[in-house]
Structure 1
Amino acid sequence: MHTQVSLSSITRLIDGTHENPSSLLGPHPVDYRGSQAVAVRSYLPEAKAAWVVERSSGERRPMRRIHPSGFFEAICESIDRPAQSRKMNEDISAKSKYHIQMTNDTGKMIDMQDPYAAPSILSDFDRYLIGEGKHHQIYERLGAQLRTVDGQSGVNFAVWAPNARSVQVVGDFNGWDGRKSVARSHGDLGIWELFVPTAKAGDRYKFRIHGMDGSWIDKSDPFGFAAELPPLTASIVTDLNNYQWEDADWIERRAEWNPLHEPMNVYEVHLGSWQKGPGRTHGWLDYKDLARRLSEYCHRMNFTHVELMPVSEHPYSGSWGYQTVGYFAPTSRHGDPNDFKFFVDYLHKQGIGVIVDWVPAHFPKDAHGLRRFDGSALYEHEDPRKGEHPDWGTMIFNYGRNEVRNFLIANALFWLDKYHIDGLRVDAVASMLYLDYSREEGGWEPNQYGGRENLEALHMLREFNVAVHENYPGVVTAAEESTAWPGVSKPVDDGGLGFTYKWNMGWMNDTLSYMRNEPIHRKFHQNELTFSLIYAFTENFVLPLSHDEVVHGKGSLISQMPGDMWQKFANLRLLYSYMWTHPGKKLLFMGGEFAQWNEWNDDEGPDWILLDFATHRGVQQLVADLNKLVIENPALHQFDFTNEGFEWIDCMNADDSILVYLRKGMDGAPPILVCSNFTPVVRTAYRVGVPHSGFWKEIFNSDGEAYGGSNVGNYPGRKTFGEEHHSRPDSISVDLPPLATVIFRLEH
């Protein structure tokens, strides 16, 4: 019998340009001698001979070579086409009736499942959710999924590339010869899929895309779970289900945790430079080593959380992770995915939360990444006015496309699901909200109503926050948002964006601007400190002194402080004391906790050798004590976001540059009195009005000798003496040390 396959179809298959290889390969019904039969076809370029073997009887039917390139066919009268499995989330196993045997040049006999006989991994429900852009677990369908088909283990590859002419899977399993693994198309979804029985965990792979523009390019897997160490760019087949988590107690407690009322002291860390290891590649420590070192340090410093600059795979180390290519892959610089799971697990068991930076605002132009993925503007906009970021030379996601929005939201949930992450800090939110962000007149296109708001991005951010909070109780989201956009941290149902927190960039800018002034000039800038309390409770604010404040020529925090050496350290201690007692959760970038002198350099990291000096150890101890103070005193954390937790005592004494205020907690929590002197002049017997009579114990003094100060203070405290002051019924007389904060707690 002559084959029913045309020579032109076989030629296009061999060339890798066939638009639907599954229409040729695998089992297909044919008319044979007046009856229905099945033609089984395979492209086996390395085969000397091949057979179709029926599973029930074991009968072997020889396959005819119908093209010298290695295109084989057998006509089988008794084989049915395999049934498709359509139940969602089941361990899918094809009910195929045959397998293929072949011999190669060495005479070795090889048994293999026919990739084109395997049913799709996509159920009807999967297809519906994908079409709606609501498949929040799409990472369990696309990418490289370990799978068993009819007893044969392999990998199911699937990728969204709706405008591609053809897609091949290339990797270690096929000698990087894409002709051997041409994916089949689900045209209605734009997804290409193939089960490869010879692939296994640990194999490197890419998708070879024949783009709509006629080009061929190898792309990393957008859903790849692991990647090669840069500058290599292949994805790696990975099993994400073989790690035994031990943090169930933490997850249970987290679900009951109220992120608005609990203490939160965040240590921001760049894993690649926090500490270095001699003899390692670029000095990078592995995740396990980092877990032990970082958890011990956070315990000693009383940080409740670490925030990691992006850990998703990125080709350029100098981007610090903010130019992400592998959105689903923790960077291989520090180990494999299980090593990163160990990192999170270990910190959880030590009582430390893990927040990661997430970057949905833009992605880089690297050829192996998302840009023009299938030869078209797929993940980005075609119009550069919407699709390209002018500041960073990167691409902007097309948030209005269902599949792109699904990709991003599923990615966020992926880190919470597979890696038990406790929070996501969303980078560069302002650039997402405004169509004219950093653009000149005429360089942007208004929305459908003529406005500058990016309505598609707003929709994506709201859907993201709703999905996170509904599915993962206790997990937090934080927005780095630098404008006055209203309701960033208000619930979506109330018209907000739904974030748990918003970074208070206004407080950061005003406070650092004030602190850079010489003390003699500060009386003219008192409003830079007091202004933040006008809007402090309009959002759920985090007070950030992040990596952005110690790079690009800004210098380290201590180098930004004015005065001689003693005053620089005193000013830094004063800054931290003011920050830790101001309403809002706290975040400090690594190195700042011990007064790093040099601006942060990601190649070198903090100068830990500075801890050989008492002045730097003093600042480190001060930060540890401030963290402990916040944790142990409800008045310093329970009402960070409502005005019932704050009360000015004196904010008008600009001439002396003094601030006095109360922090208050829930019923029964003793109030905290904070007195800050922003000049180097000691203020003795300074009268302070208080709302309650009794003994006010001095519980903290940033001028303490242990911190490197002059030890002017009020130990053990001050008792009220029944005289009204500052419109309060009672008062105390205190000594205010130079460039320092003293903190009192009412003791009945």
Structure 2
Amino acid sequence: MISIEQQRAICELHHESPHNYLGLHKLDEKWIIRNYEPFAEKLSISIAGKTHKATRHDDGFFTTTIKSAPKKPYKVNVHYSVDNQSSKYDPYAFLPTLGDLDVHLMHEGTHLELYKVLGSQATTSNSIPGISFKVWAPDARGVSLIGNFNGWNRAINPMRKLIGSNGIWEIFMPEMAQGEYYKFAIKTQSNEILEKQDPLGKFCELRPGTASVVWDNSQISWSDDQWLAQREKTDPMNAPLSIYEIHIGSWNHPELKKDGEFANYRDIAHTLGKYISEMGYTHIELLPITEFPYDPSWGYQATGYFAPSSRFGTPADFAYFVNHLHKLNIGVLIDWVPAHFPTDRHALGQFDGSSLYEHDNPDEGYHPDWNTFIFNFGRNEVANFLISSALYWLKEFHIDGLRVDAVASMLYRDYSRNEGEWRPNKDGGRENYEAIEFLKQLNTLAHEHCPGSMVIAEESTAFPKVSRPIYDGGLGFTMKWNMGWMHDTLTYFSTEPIHRKYHQNQLTFSLVYAFNENFVLPLSHDEVVHGKGSLIQKMPGDTWQKFANLRCLYAYMYAHPGKKIFFMGCEIAQWHEWSESKNLDWATLNNGNHLGIQKFSKKLNEIYKHENCLWEIDFSHDGFEWIDAQDSEQSVLSFMRKNSNNEQVLCIMNLTPVPRDNYTIGVPSAGRYKVLLNSDDTEFGGSNYSPTEVYQSSPQVAHNKSHSITANLPPLSVLYLKMSD
């Protein structure tokens, strides 16, 4: 019989090898099967059609003696009561399902598909289908699997600690199906028991529940091969990129008819896909959809790094969402947060009672601004976990790019810390060497394994070469958000026009550094929350001037070097600032001014995609030339965007409400210049001041050009011109 010590170790959850005592074992010349079923009245074993009665012992242990070892897996028949009986294969009769190579690669930090190994995995063992569960918890005294299937009893399904695995615990649950809720019960060295969500769980219980859900992605079907093949051949650096940033929970277009509840990914795919196609954006970017417990965090405090949020459906529903948008030729990017994670007890923090995923010292492992833990990027297994998460979204869900949040907080050890609150690196500096190496590895592997995909840094400092190749001393990101451009531009456009002549450098300064990085120009969610007001609220003047200013801002953005990103609601100029708890104010489109902004946004996307002068050379001086940046007295600027054939689109900006009649602008060559865009057009809510469709140049020297045109510049307007055939 099993010893009292072994019984206690299993029942009290500090047994590292329960399979050595439970299940089938040879005893002298016979074989014995041990089971633990504390709520069972009777138990028997079925082998090859024959039933063997078990003997019940204290504390719910049963033993069954047989003469020879079964050739096939046996069934355990459990009798709880007259109306509650079950027959199941014994989990303790199966060999481990983890290979030595997987263990080696994980601890080396090079297992790129960790999501196919740890967590819950559909597999077959000894010809029996089921789910294997594996979790890394090296400091745990014991780990057990709990869920609906065992009444959440911590003692029934203890897991074994695999020898030589450096702390990986495993159990195979035969015949378990997709959809079971589960957690890991972990006993710490201090004998506290923590109930933890699966770090590599692919699906989660709808909040406020915190359980993981067994899920098998192999059943998902895809039909976006054409999109992926084209993406692989496309260099996003030399392509149009106009991104619509969306918080999927509050977008809720009226066609969804889901007021007060979350729409499903599939419904959103059709409504959003139709809208994006009509508006002409090339991509969407989702605020984090990795599972998160707290709605007001918008997803930036993730607890499920491999699970699309269950608020909007299953992983299969999310795959449908991506697949459908790809079939409409719309790319999908997601925000991804490797900088920090929340302190929720069910999540990664103090996972096995030790600082497993985070740094042990709060000066390195805790973010005071966000009340979150900081990943220990120098630990191989942690870096491997995060890189595997990134590749999971890119490969398994066909995501076209990651926008990496809060990169600055990763790069600097003293980020948002006072003197004495941070630890210097080995050289006494503030740079976080481990995070830097992690980011280089992330970018190298993402670009290598997912050609054509993007990794975009949200980095708010002047850290050098963020988007430069690693061989050139860079971090290897595809692109970087231009936070300086965003700040200066919004400050300028918030200024009363009468004072703008003193601030023109806020628009021209960005061209001093515009080509130091591969920049994305953001007008993002961060600029329309927390009391900052909506973009239309930031604009000065009366209602007409506010809308005219907003059109100027958007037209300037689309002509400026760099890719584009707009947060939802900006394209309709909603008045109230964004809140995750409210739908976008679609009713504003009943007003002509708001409808005009929407039409203008659509027109900008149309021109932008059609005119490669506006995007082909975004990251080099060769694609840009000032015509006149000096007329601050009248707040007029003019410049050219150029393509590789030296064709040009001219941009002329009058940023005061005063019309500038007979204004002379130098042009690159003689000819007729067609108006591609006039932000003052009545279609967009403008005044239609002095509408002109074509300007004929004259041989009058201006702005160091041998030819020029003379135009009546409308108030608060932007013109795009291009030489016509």
Q: Structure 2 length normalisation: TM-score?
A: 0.96
**Shift in alpha-carbon separation, 1:605–1:459, aligned structure 2, 3 A:** same
SS of aligned partner of 1:597 = coil
Cα distance in 1, alignment partners of residues 423 and 263 from structure 2:
45
Report the Cα offset of residue 146 of structure 1: 1.7
Report the Cα offset of residue 152 of structure 1: 2.8
The CA RMSD measured in Å over matched residues stands at 1.8
Match of 1:409 among 364, 383, 387: 387
Per-residue CA deviations over 1:610-659 (Å, capped at 9, x if unaligned) read 00011111111111111111100010010011110000110011111111
SS of aligned partner of 1:606 = coil
Cα distance in 2, alignment partners of residues 584 and 686 from structure 1:
28
SS of aligned partner of 1:249 = helix
**What amino acid maps onto 1:476 in structure 2?**
M
**Shift in alpha-carbon separation, 1:78–1:615, aligned structure 2, 3 A:** closer
- Residues 1:135 and 2:111 aligned together: yes
For residue 227 of structure 1, what is the aligned residue in structure 2?
A: 204
Cα distance in 2, alignment partners of residues 200 and 697 from structure 1:
65
Match of 1:556 among 534, 548, 551: 534
Match of 2:75 among 94, 100, 108: 100
Would you say the 8 A contact 2:42–2:80 is kept in 1?
no
Would you say the 8 A contact 1:47–1:102 is kept in 2?
no
For residue 87 of structure 1, what is the aligned residue in structure 2?
A: none
For residue 515 of structure 2, what is the aligned residue in structure 1?
A: 537
For residue 174 of structure 1, what is the aligned residue in structure 2?
A: 150
Identity %: 47
For residue 595 of structure 1, what is the aligned residue in structure 2?
A: 573
For residue 269 of structure 1, what is the aligned residue in structure 2?
A: 246
- Residues 1:617 and 2:595 aligned together: yes
SS of aligned partner of 1:380 = coil
Match of 2:21 among 24, 36, 46: 24
For residue 437 of structure 2, what is the aligned residue in structure 1?
A: 459
1:259-298 aligned at under 5 Å gives the runs: 259-275=236-252, 280=258, 282-298=260-276
Bigger mean CA deviation after superposition, 705-714 or 435-444: 705-714
Would you say the 8 A contact 1:26–1:42 is kept in 2?
yes
**Shift in alpha-carbon separation, 1:105–1:428, aligned structure 2, 3 A:** closer
For residue 701 of structure 2, what is the aligned residue in structure 1?
A: 724
For residue 70 of structure 1, what is the aligned residue in structure 2?
A: 61
**Shift in alpha-carbon separation, 1:68–1:271, aligned structure 2, 3 A:** closer
Cα distance in 2, alignment partners of residues 305 and 220 from structure 1:
32
Report the Cα offset of residue 24 of structure 1: 1.4
Report the Cα offset of residue 279 of structure 1: 7.9
- Residues 1:119 and 2:95 aligned together: yes
**What amino acid maps onto 2:24 in structure 1?**
P
Per-residue CA deviations over 1:12-65 (Å, capped at 9, x if unaligned) read 2122232321221233455x25xxx6544322334455455556xx66555444
Cα distance in 2, alignment partners of residues 495 and 280 from structure 1:
49
Bigger mean CA deviation after superposition, 457-466 or 435-444: 457-466
Would you say the 8 A contact 2:616–2:643 is kept in 1?
yes
1:168-317 aligned at under 5 Å gives the runs: 168-187=144-163, 188-275=165-252, 280=258, 282-317=260-295
**What amino acid maps onto 2:38 in structure 1?**
P
SS of aligned partner of 2:504 = helix
**What amino acid maps onto 1:377 in structure 2?**
S
Report the Cα offset of residue 78 of structure 1: 4.5
Cα distance in 2, alignment partners of residues 596 and 209 from structure 1:
49
Q: Which structure 1 residue ranges, 5 or more long, are not aligned? A: 80-95
Match of 1:371 among 338, 349, 354: 349
SS of aligned partner of 2:341 = coil
**Shift in alpha-carbon separation, 1:570–1:281, aligned structure 2, 3 A:** closer
Report the Cα offset of residue 359 of structure 1: 0.5
Bigger mean CA deviation after superposition, 594-603 or 631-640: 594-603
For residue 613 of structure 2, what is the aligned residue in structure 1?
A: 635
Cα distance in 2, alignment partners of residues 214 and 282 from structure 1:
43
- Residues 1:650 and 2:647 aligned together: no
1:385-424 aligned at under 5 Å gives the runs: 385-424=363-402
Cα distance in 2, alignment partners of residues 529 and 279 from structure 1:
42
Match of 2:35 among 27, 42, 62: 42
Report the Cα offset of residue 691 of structure 1: 1.3
Report the Cα offset of residue 402 of structure 1: 1.0
Report the Cα offset of residue 100 of structure 1: 3.1
Match of 1:694 among 661, 671, 675: 671
For residue 91 of structure 1, what is the aligned residue in structure 2?
A: none
Would you say the 8 A contact 1:213–1:376 is kept in 2?
no
For residue 323 of structure 2, what is the aligned residue in structure 1?
A: 345
SS of aligned partner of 2:171 = strand
For residue 122 of structure 2, what is the aligned residue in structure 1?
A: 146
**What amino acid maps onto 1:665 in structure 2?**
N
Report the Cα offset of residue 66 of structure 1: 4.9
- Residues 1:13 and 2:4 aligned together: no
Cα distance in 1, alignment partners of residues 534 and 131 from structure 2:
49
Cα distance in 2, alignment partners of residues 358 and 287 from structure 1:
18
SS of aligned partner of 1:411 = helix
Per-residue CA deviations over 1:228-253 (Å, capped at 9, x if unaligned) read 11111111111211121111111111
Would you say the 8 A contact 2:359–2:376 is kept in 1?
yes
For residue 84 of structure 1, what is the aligned residue in structure 2?
A: none
- Residues 1:159 and 2:135 aligned together: yes
Report the Cα offset of residue 479 of structure 1: 0.5
Cα distance in 1, alignment partners of residues 57 and 349 from structure 2:
40
Cα distance in 1, alignment partners of residues 386 and 699 from structure 2:
61
For residue 680 of structure 1, what is the aligned residue in structure 2?
A: 657
**What amino acid maps onto 1:496 in structure 2?**
G
For residue 328 of structure 1, what is the aligned residue in structure 2?
A: 306
Would you say the 8 A contact 2:253–2:584 is kept in 1?
no
Cα distance in 2, alignment partners of residues 6 and 202 from structure 1:
36
**What amino acid maps onto 1:561 in structure 2?**
M
Report the Cα offset of residue 293 of structure 1: 0.9
Cα distance in 2, alignment partners of residues 330 and 281 from structure 1:
22
Would you say the 8 A contact 1:53–1:98 is kept in 2?
no
**Shift in alpha-carbon separation, 1:214–1:78, aligned structure 2, 3 A:** closer
Cα distance in 2, alignment partners of residues 124 and 615 from structure 1:
65
Would you say the 8 A contact 1:40–1:76 is kept in 2?
no
Would you say the 8 A contact 2:648–2:723 is kept in 1?
yes
For residue 734 of structure 1, what is the aligned residue in structure 2?
A: 711
Per-residue CA deviations over 1:301-340 (Å, capped at 9, x if unaligned) read 1101000000011110011011111111111111111111
Cα distance in 2, alignment partners of residues 49 and 275 from structure 1:
54
Would you say the 8 A contact 1:51–1:102 is kept in 2?
yes
**Shift in alpha-carbon separation, 1:279–1:422, aligned structure 2, 3 A:** closer
**What amino acid maps onto 1:43 in structure 2?**
Y
Would you say the 8 A contact 2:32–2:63 is kept in 1?
no
Per-residue CA deviations over 1:470-501 (Å, capped at 9, x if unaligned) read 00111111000000011111112221111111
Would you say the 8 A contact 1:158–1:193 is kept in 2?
yes
**What amino acid maps onto 2:454 in structure 1?**
V
Report the Cα offset of residue 379 of structure 1: 0.9
Would you say the 8 A contact 1:689–1:727 is kept in 2?
yes
Per-residue CA deviations over 1:257-286 (Å, capped at 9, x if unaligned) read 110010011000001101167985833211
Bigger mean CA deviation after superposition, 134-143 or 12-21: 12-21
Cα distance in 1, alignment partners of residues 189 and 309 from structure 2:
31
Cα distance in 1, alignment partners of residues 237 and 223 from structure 2:
27
Cα distance in 2, alignment partners of residues 49 and 578 from structure 1:
78
Cα distance in 2, alignment partners of residues 745 and 714 from structure 1:
16
Would you say the 8 A contact 2:145–2:184 is kept in 1?
yes
1:515-526 aligned at under 5 Å gives the runs: 515-526=493-504
Bigger mean CA deviation after superposition, 224-233 or 261-270: 224-233
Would you say the 8 A contact 1:659–1:675 is kept in 2?
yes
Report the Cα offset of residue 459 of structure 1: 1.1
Would you say the 8 A contact 1:45–1:71 is kept in 2?
no
**What amino acid maps onto 2:450 in structure 1?**
Y
Cα distance in 1, alignment partners of residues 400 and 209 from structure 2:
30
